[in-house]
Amino acid sequence: SQWLGMGRRLYAEDTTFREAIDRCDEAMRRHTDWSLRELLKAPEQQPRWNDIDVIQPTLFAMQVALAAVWRSFGLEPHAVVGHSMGEVAAAHVAGALSLEDAARIICERSKLLRRVSGQGAMAVVDLSREQAEAELRGLEDRIAIAVSNGPRSTVLSGDRAALEEVLERLQKREVFCRWVKVDVASHSPQMDPLRPELLERMAAIRPTASAVPLYSTVTGAPIDGRELGASYWVRNLRQPVLFADAVQRLIQDGNVL
C-alpha cells in the first residue's frame, strides 16, 4: 500500500495535510529513532522504508492527515471503522484517542512486530470464514483466520510451511489463493509471545468516549471509545479482523454513502 514519494506532493502543497503530518511526526518521535518528515522528503528509497516499524507508523500518519484534509473541505464522518492497524487512526479520528496515545500504540505495536518479522506469512483465499475454519482443523496452533473481509474473502496467517500445505490443497481444488506481501503473521498464534509486553507498553493509554460513532473490527460492532484501553489493542493484534461483520453492521445501522 506504500510507494516511494507517497504523500510528498500533498505535503508540499496542502497546508492542512502538512500540519497534520508535522503533528504526527512530533508525537511519533517520542517512540522512534527516525523522522517521518525526513522519510517523506527523501529523494530515494531509504533502507528501512519497508520495515514494519517504519511503514506502519507512516501509514498511520497518512490516514490521520488525509482525514484532516477531508475535514478541511467540510466533510465530517458519520461513523468510523478501521482495518487491523487502521483501527489506531480510526480511533483517533473518531475522538477516542489523543494523537499522543495513538502514536504510542502504533509505534510500540510495530516495534514489537519487528521482533517476529520473517517468521510468518499471510495469504488471502476465496473462501468464507466458515469454510476457511474447516480447512484449518488440526492446524489451529500454527495457522489462524486473520481477516474476514467479505462473504468469500478470508486471510489466513501463521507458519509459512503450514500455510503452503493448505494453499497447495486448495489450489488443487481450483480455489483462488494469493500470498500477501508481508513477513509477519499478525492475528495468529505467533502474536501470543508479544502479549505481555504489548499490554505493559499500552498501560498509559487513556481512551475517552468517541465524538463520532466508532465500529470495531475486533468485535464487528459499535464500541464505546472508553473500551479502547491496553487490553483492546492486544486483542486488535491477536484476534481476527472482523471487517465484513463491522461493515454489515454499519449498513444495518443506516450508514450508507
Q: Are residues 226 and 100 in the same domain?
A: yes
Q: Are residues 17 and 103 in the same domain?
A: yes
Where does the pLDDT of residue 10 fall: very low under 50, low under 70, confident under 90, or very high at 90 and above?
very high
What is the reported pTM? 0.94
Q: What percent of the chain has pLDDT over 70?
A: 96
Mean of the pLDDT values across residues 95-121?
Answer: 97
Q: Is the pLDDT of residue 255 over 80?
A: yes
Q: Is the pLDDT of residue 15 over 80?
A: yes
Round the average pLDDT of the chain to a whole number and report it: 95
Q: Are residues 17 and 91 in the same domain?
A: yes
Q: Is the pLDDT of residue 70 over 90?
A: yes
Evaluate whether residue 246 is within a structural domain: no
Q: Are residues 147 and 220 in the same domain?
A: no
- Kindly report the CATH number assigned to the domain that includes residue 134: 3.30.70.250
pLDDT at residue number 48: 74
Q: Would strands 153-158 and 143-150 be described as parallel, antiparallel, or unpaired?
A: antiparallel
**Which residues neighbour 89 within 8 Å (Cβ) at sequence distance 6 or greater?**
60, 63, 64, 67, 82, 102, 106
pLDDT tens readout for residues 133-180: 999 999 999 999 999 999 999 999 999 999 999 999 999 999 999 999
Q: Which domain holds residue 58?
A: 8-116+192-239
Q: Which of 158, 182, 206 is the last residue of a domain?
A: 182
CA 139 to centroid of chain Cα atoms = 25
Evaluate whether residue 253 is within a structural domain: no
**Which residues neighbour 187 within 8 Å (Cβ) at sequence distance 6 or greater?**
84, 144, 145, 146, 147, 155, 157, 237, 238, 239, 240, 241
Where does the pLDDT of residue 45 fall: very low under 50, low under 70, confident under 90, or very high at 90 and above?
low
pLDDT tens readout for residues 173-213: 999 999 999 999 999 999 999 999 999 999 999 999 999 99
